[in-house]
């Protein structure tokens, strides 16, 4: 009797297909949301990195100008 219960599926195959398809759809939607969030985060980090690079270049240029003014020719 236990072997018979273990071999029978919980739902008939024709009914379970709808739930399996639904589960795959939910999984793909969640995966797309995750990828979208990671892409937005990557874009924000890239923007911030470019801004920091510009600030660093500006500081280096100002420092070089200040050193050039201090040294008499």
Q: Does residue 10 belong to any structural domain of this protein?
A: no
* Comparison of pLDDT for 11 and 38, the residue scoring more: 38
* Comparison of pLDDT for 67 and 35, the residue scoring more: 35
- The pLDDT value recorded for residue 37 is 98
CA distance 54 to 47: 11
- The pLDDT value recorded for residue 31 is 98
The whole domain housing 64 covers: 16-68
Give tens-digit pLDDT for 14-46. 778 888 899 999 999 999 999 999 999 999 999
Structure letter (DSSP) for residue 63: H
Q: Does residue 51 belong to any structural domain of this protein?
A: yes
Q: Does residue 44 belong to any structural domain of this protein?
A: yes
Q: For the chain, how many helices (H) and strands (E)?
A: 2, 0
Q: For the whole prediction, is pTM greater than 0.75?
A: no
User: What is the rounded average pLDDT of the residues 2-10?
Assistant: 59
Q: Does residue 9 belong to any structural domain of this protein?
A: no
């Amino acid at each position: 009797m236990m072997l018979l219960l273990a071999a029978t599926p919980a739902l008939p195959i024709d009914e379970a297909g709808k739930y399996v398809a639904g589960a795959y759809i939910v999984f793909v939607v969640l995966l797309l949301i995750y990828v979208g969030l990671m892409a937005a985060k990557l874009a924000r980090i890239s923007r911030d990195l470019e801004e920091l690079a510009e600030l660093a270049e500006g500081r280096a240029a100002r420092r070089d100008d200040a050193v050039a003014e201090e040294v008499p020719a």
